[in-house]
Each structure stands twice: as C-alpha cells, then as structure tokens.
C-alpha cells in the first residue's frame, strides 16, 4: 500500500475517523483515498479491457429454520465435522488454546476426532494486571483432561521490539490489542508447525460477547426518555475505572450512552471506542473541516438494511459477520500468523457450520443474562465445569494496566507534543487530557490511546516512510 506506484498516499479521513471509532478500517475503505478493499463474501472480476466488476457470492442465511431435536448434540457433531475438515493436512496441526469456551471446544474436538492428542499453545501475561488476564490454569486443566501437550508462551509488556513489525505486517492502521499475543504466539507456534486451529468465530456464531446481551436489553433501554438516558449516562461516567484490567465499568458506560435508538446505531455504539465529542476534540480544527465523521455508522446502517433489517440478536450477529469478524479478527490473525509462515484455520467460521447455526432462533443460542447458552450445553460433556462457569476474558491482555505502568513511557514518547505537532492531525492538549484520565482511572481510555499509538507508528512506516522516530535514541 505504501508503494508510490500504487497509491499517492492521500489519507482518507472518513475512513480513519472510522478507525478511531472501531479500531480498524471497515471494508471497502482503506486509509488511502485511492485504494479499496473487497467486502466479505464478494468477488472482483477483472477483464482484459480493464473493466472490473464486484459481485456478492455468499451471504448469511436470513431465514429461521426449525430447531432440530437434541440440538445440543447436533451442534457438537457439527463442530466435530468442521474440525475434521480443518485437520486435513500434509503436516501436523497445532492449536491455540486459552481458557475460553471456543478454543477449549476446538481442542476437545481435535482430541475426539483426531489421530492423536493435539499440541496446544497458550499465552501467559507478565506485568501489571496479569493476574486478571491469566487463563493458563484453565488451559492446563483441559490439556490434562485430553492428554494434550501444552506449551506456555509468556507475553511481556515491553512492546518496543515488536510494535513496528506488527504494524508493518498488518499493513493498515489496526488497533486491536490482541495483536500482541497473536504475534508472539504465532512466532512460537510457527517455529514448530505450519498449521494451527483456533477458536476464532465462536463468539460471533454463538453470541458470546456482552454486547449480544446488550442488544437485547437495549431494546428496552432505548424506549426510555432521552433525558433519563442522559442522566444515567452522566452518572455512569462518574464511576472510577477498576484497578485491574477488567472492562465492566467501561462497558456499562458504553451501554448507557444516550440517543442510539436504531438497532444498527445502538450496536455501533457498543463497538465504538470513542464518541463523536471525544474524537472531534482530538482532531485539529483544520482537519475537522475535511470530513463529516458519519461514514462508519452509516456503513453499519446500510449493511443492516441490506441484510433485511433482521430483528433482535440476529441483527448484531449479522453485523459482526459483516464488519468486526472479517475486518478486525480474521484480518489480524491471518496477517500476523502468515508473517511467521503459519496458516491459521478457523473451524467456527466454516460456512457449513455457520449456515446451520445462524439459522437457529435467538432464544436457543442465548439467555437474557447468559451468553453462549447453546454452545455451553453442547460442550458440557467435554469440558471441565470450571470452563463452563468461567467469565469471558477474550484473547486480549492487560493493556489497560500496562498503559498506566510499563507502557507509560512508550505512549509518552510516540504521542509526545513534538510528535503530534509534526503530524499535524491531533491537538496535543486533548491527547494529554485523555492520557491523564486513563492514568487517574477517571475513564478507561485504552482503546483510543492504543489507536493513536498504532496510527502514529503506521504513519511513520507507510506515509513518512521513516523506520524509526527521531526521538528513539533518547529512550532506548
């Protein structure tokens, strides 16, 4: 993308504003005005005369089907079928394993249908907030149950040596902090294997995120008078962030943001890491005049309408499959693993399994206060009770705590007033206020701070084409 022959490197700030909201640039946009991406489920045909056409070749089924008898057993069988298909390989296949339901389910299925117990790799975080993110005990418990070999890989908070290689491999601004464990684990797995299975896609298929419960509750919250919503949001914003790496308070604040009454708009607000006021305060006045800041939410609304304006939970799952899953998780895992010559395979994203499960009714997949109910029941005979009861942590580290401690100097260097003035896009005072709010735990600003850090690094590599910052020598 940085090649002058392919692009004149003019930044698309509608797309980049979407990046600062979501942590990624949603297709078909890219950070450059003259480069576009294919949307998921589409194919581009190029003809000799230079004509290009784009057409959709696959979409999620929108029609509900009757729930089959003993659906939990059927789901386990469908997962085994998918894992069996993804185990077909000329070389041994490893696995990524956390203590979560999805990767544990995949490893249990590999042990059930495979020829031998798998070799699994799991992350162990080091530094501030590590205890809250540690799932090695659950991973070891599952490995022992199935006789799997388990390799524990330490993920350390000193990212100076890996941030630039990660940003270069991702090719565009990408602010999902799961990039760090994905990179380090892929490096470890790739040193011994060429193929590995992961649990990616289980949350999007079986409704594993808290926002999936939020979209059901939001149908009631959105009916409250706007004044009540504003009061609730203002009270929530006074809550202090917890000392550990948990995000419960931050999620509550997102849920209580007022005024998002449409389904697509409300779901977008759950995903957004910075509201309009926060983002516009970051940008210089000159930059604010060059774009509207509405493209991202309008993109979600268009996708929602194109999908037939599905009701309830299916609306959120449909939008996940159109945006977050392909543009964030799959893009990140594929690019970072292939940087280490490792092929990542994703049984939960197999179209046969997806078509079967997506067509099931909402109340089969999830309870009002219990996400992933169907998958939990399907895996109950295979997983230890601790796995079924464990709260969701996600494949992310204690980045929020690291930013207050071990990564504090990294942020201070890469987002210094000198650097921000040189970029010319951001108000140094506004960035400093956000950082102070995070340090004092007034607000969890992890998402926007990490997005700024990744953008500045990407800008250096792909726009300025300078491999190291001028101030690096002072902090090395």
**Looking at the predicted structure, is the pLDDT value of residue 345 above 80?**
yes
Residue 84 and residue 349 in contact, taking contact as beta carbons nearer than 8 Å: no
Residue 18 lies in a domain: no
Q: What is the DSSP string of 214-273?
A: HHHHHHHHTTS-HHHHHHHHHHHHTSPPPSSS--HHHHHHHHT-TT--SHHHHHHHHH-S
* Whole-number pLDDT of residue 245: 45
Residues of the chain above pLDDT 90, percent: 68
Which comes out higher in pLDDT, residue 220 or 3?
220
| Burial class of 141 by CB neighbour count within 10 A (0 to 12, 13 to 18, 19+) | middle
In tens, the pLDDT along 409-456 reads: 999 999 999 999 999 999 999 999 999 999 998 888 999 999 999 999
Residue 408 lies in a domain: no
Least confident of 338-342, 402-406, 427-431, 465-469: 465-469
Residue 450 lies in a domain: no
Residue 32 lies in a domain: no
Query: If you compute the radius of gyration of the chain from its CA atoms, what whole number of angstroms results?
Result: 22
Q: Which of 457, 418, 415, 451 is nearest to 436 (CA)?
A: 415
Residue 192 lies in a domain: yes
Residue 127 lies in a domain: yes
Q: Which domain holds residue 198?
A: 71-207+320-389
Residue 411 lies in a domain: no
Residue 269 lies in a domain: no
Residue 94 and residue 120 in contact, taking contact as beta carbons nearer than 8 Å: yes
Residues in the chain, how many? 476
Segment (H or E) for 162: helix 160-170
Which CATH number characterizes residue 144's domain?
3.40.50.620
In tens, the pLDDT along 203-247 reads: 999 999 988 888 877 766 666 677 777 787 777 777 765 655 445
Q: What domain count does the chain have?
A: 1
């Amino acid at each position: 993308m940085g090649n002058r022959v392919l692009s004149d490197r003019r930044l698309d700030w509608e797309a980049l504003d979407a990046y600062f909201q979501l942590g990624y640039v949603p297709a078909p946009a890219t950070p450059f005005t003259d480069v576009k991406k294919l949307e998921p489920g589409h194919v581009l045909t190029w003809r000799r005369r230079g004509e290009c056409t784009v057409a959709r070749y696959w979409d999620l089924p929108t029609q509900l089907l009757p729930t089959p008898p003993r659906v939990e057993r059927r789901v386990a069988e469908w997962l085994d079928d998918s894992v069996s298909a993804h185990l077909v390989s000329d070389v041994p296949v490893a696995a990524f394993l956390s203590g979560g339901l999805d990767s544990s389910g995949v490893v249990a299925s590999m042990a059930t249908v495979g020829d031998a117990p798998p070799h699994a790799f799991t992350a162990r975080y080091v530094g501030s907030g590590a205890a809250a993110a540690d799932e090695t005990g659950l991973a070891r418990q599952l490995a022992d149950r199935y006789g799997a070999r388990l390799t524990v890989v330490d993920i350390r908070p000193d990212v100076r040596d890996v941030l630039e290689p990660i940003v270069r491999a991702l090719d565009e601004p990408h602010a999902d902090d799961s990039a760090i464990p994905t990179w380090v684990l892929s490096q470890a797995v790739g040193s011994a294997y060429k193929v590995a299975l992961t649990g990616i896609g289980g949350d999007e298929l079986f409704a594993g995120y808290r926002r999936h419960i939020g979209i059901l509750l939001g149908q009631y919250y959105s009916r409250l008078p706007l004044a009540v919503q504003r009061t609730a949001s203002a009270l929530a914003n006074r809550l202090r962030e917890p000392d550990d790496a948990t995000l419960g308070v931050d999620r509550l604040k997102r849920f209580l943001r007022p005024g998002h009454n449409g389904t697509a708009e409300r779901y977008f607000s759950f995903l957004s890491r910075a509201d309009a006021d926060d983002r516009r305060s970051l940008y210089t006045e000159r930059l604010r005049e060059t774009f509207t800041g509405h493209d991202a939410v309008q993109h979600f609304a268009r996708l929602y309408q194109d999908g037939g304006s599905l009701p309830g939970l299916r609306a959120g799952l449909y939008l996940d499959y159109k945006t977050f899953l392909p543009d964030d998780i799959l893009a990140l895992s594929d690019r970072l693993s292939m940087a280490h010559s490792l092929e990542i395979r994703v049984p939960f994203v197999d179209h046969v399994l997806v078509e079967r499960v997506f067509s099931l009714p909402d109340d089969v997949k999830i309870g009002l206060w219990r996400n992933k109910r169907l998958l939990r029941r399907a895996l109950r005979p295979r997983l230890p009770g601790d796995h079924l009861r464990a709260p969701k942590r996600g494949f992310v580290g204690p980045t929020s705590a690291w930013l207050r401690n071990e990564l504090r100097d990294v942020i201070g260097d890469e987002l210094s007033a000198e650097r921000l003035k040189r970029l010319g896009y951001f108000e140094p005072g506004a960035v400093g206020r956000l950082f102070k709010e995070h340090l004092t735990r007034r607000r969890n600003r992890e998402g926007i701070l990490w997005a700024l850090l990744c953008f500045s690094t990407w800008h250096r590599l792909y726009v300025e084409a300078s491999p190291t910052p001028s101030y690096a020598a002072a902090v090395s």
